[in-house]
Amino acid sequence: MSERDYDVIIVGAGGAGLSAAIEATEAGARVLLIEAGAKAGGSTALSGGVYWAAGTSLQREAGIEDDADSQFHYYMTVNQYKVDPALARRYCDLSAPTFEWLVGLGVNFPLENLYVSGVDKIRRGHRAEGHGAEIAEVLEGALAGRSVDLATHTRVQDLLIEDGAVTGVIVDGDPVRAGAVVIASGGFGNNRRLWAELYPSAAKQGELAWYIGADECRGDGLEMGRRAGADLTRPDIGLLLMTPGFAHDVESYLPPWVVHVNHEGRRFIDEATEYSVLSEVLSTQTAGECFAIFDEAARAEAKAHPAPNWAADRLAEFAEKGPVVKADTLTELAERIGVRPETLVTTAERYSADARAGADSAFFKTPAHLRPIETPPFYGVRIRPAIVCWTGTGLRIDAEARVLDQADRVMPGLFAAGETTGGFAGPCYAGGGASIGNAVIFGRIAGTNAAKLALG
């Protein structure tokens, strides 16, 4: 076999790839880190910078008693055990130690940024002060002085396979050899062809759907792994955020003062519920969509912060030009948007009475978010799960981040981490920050194990 160019090659320099590079070099490996974009960071750098963890020093500082066992039980239960337990257990066991590792590298997680990012009411969402950009910058900065070469504007074409083992990659038609390869190239959010095959829930939204991650996430790593014989986890897993389709920008926020009704004219959830579960609940409603309903008084009071598109003047503009529908009566509004009129009227009457009484008797929404629906004109806008936040179908790995083939055998020399992989994500995004956590935790595992293999 030809001489190696590096000990470990890592494809993708997002949160997973950067973490893998740090740990691989820590183990003594010479590393080549290949990034298709202009700079490192990937989707992690574009994110809100939340890290989901249990049993951290920040939680203890806040007086919160939490541990990996509780986190694991919650994660498995809320996902109805439709995830790989070994991956979930490894995540939970390492979430706190990896948080402390990030803090040790220099990421600042302020106490006031610790919040409830799941549906279990435990503050496990640790938001970095400088959001995802800070996490990416600190990880990249930690590579200084280490034995790593970073090649940007470089897209890997395929894996190099010799004697049944992955021994490198193909770049510009030329082989680059190593003792092990880590695929950390992100998901396939920017590849509509793969949506049709692996994420039909997104594909069926048509032109309304759009992706908010890094442009370079086109599924390259997933497809090169598949060509080499890797198995893929089950399709149609990911996170779709709800959107009225006002504009293709990062604003996916839905104000909690609106009322969500289905085609039957009924509410089906507390509208202030965490975004991580809103879309999953919405998927069980008729046609997988709902309508945000409000009246003129609520529109007139709407503020630009934190959602400029939901400000009073913008809503008036959308009502004139679309997509907000405006009507003089609730019955007329219902007919225009395709909702059962008599039920919508009843829903509005009961909700308005609750708003005046200061208590939501149906879904127990925080009183501060209650607004009566009784002042004409009335407004409605269709809400659909169409913003692709991340994709959850990918290469099947074990708890050591080793890629498995279709016979569930370890593929020699091949590791993967982050959004390129599947099995950890389930039907419910159980906690905001779990995607960054998944990338960093399994990136570290992949980098460590790839270096161990390469160095013998």
State pLDDT tens for residues 188-225: 999 999 999 999 999 999 988 999 999 999 999 999 99
Q: Give the domains, in start order, of the chain with CATH numbers.
A: 8-237+392-455 (3.50.50.60), 242-387 (3.90.700.10)
- Confidence band for 248, pLDDT divided at 50, 70 and 90: low
Percent of the chain at pLDDT > 90 equals 90
Residue labelled with tokens 């970073």: 150
Find, among 232, 163, 262, 283, the residue nearest to 393 by Cα.
232
Read off the pLDDT band of 230 (50, 70, 90): very high
pLDDT grade for 1, boundaries at 50, 70 and 90:
very low
Residue 122 has pLDDT above 60, yes or no: yes
- Residue 167's alpha-carbon distances to 175, 222, 271, 358, 394, in angstroms, are 9, 17, 51, 65, 21
- Which residues of 392-447 form beta strands (DSSP E)? 395-396, 402-404, 410-416, 421-422
Q: Which residues pair with residue 83 across a beta bridge? A: none
What pTM did the predictor assign?
Answer: 0.93
- For residue 74, which of 434, 449, 325, 359 has the smallest C-alpha distance? 434
The pLDDT value recorded for residue 17 is: 98
260 class by beta-carbon count within 10 Å (0-12 exposed, 13-18 middle, 19+ buried): buried
C-alpha 252/C-alpha 246 separation (Å) is 10
Average pLDDT over residues 167-178: 98
Mean pLDDT of 146-159: 98
Pair 251, 291: CB distance under 8 Å: no
What pLDDT digit, counting tens, does each position of 397-456 carry? 999 999 999 999 999 999 999 999 999 999 888 889 999 999 999 999 999 999 999 999
DSSP state letter for 267: B
Whether pLDDT at 247 is above 80: no
Place 120 in a pLDDT band, splitting at 50, 70 and 90: confident
pLDDT value at residue 121: 85
- Amino acid present at 248: H
- Average pLDDT of span 159-181: 97
| Over residues 220-248, mean pLDDT | 93
pLDDT at 2: 64
* pLDDT tens for each residue of 374-385: 999 999 999 999
- Among 57-66, 243-252, 336-345, the least confident range: 243-252
Q: Higher confidence at residue 2 or residue 138? A: 138
pLDDT digits (tens, 9 = 90+) for 283-320: 899 999 999 999 999 999 999 888 889 999 999 999 99
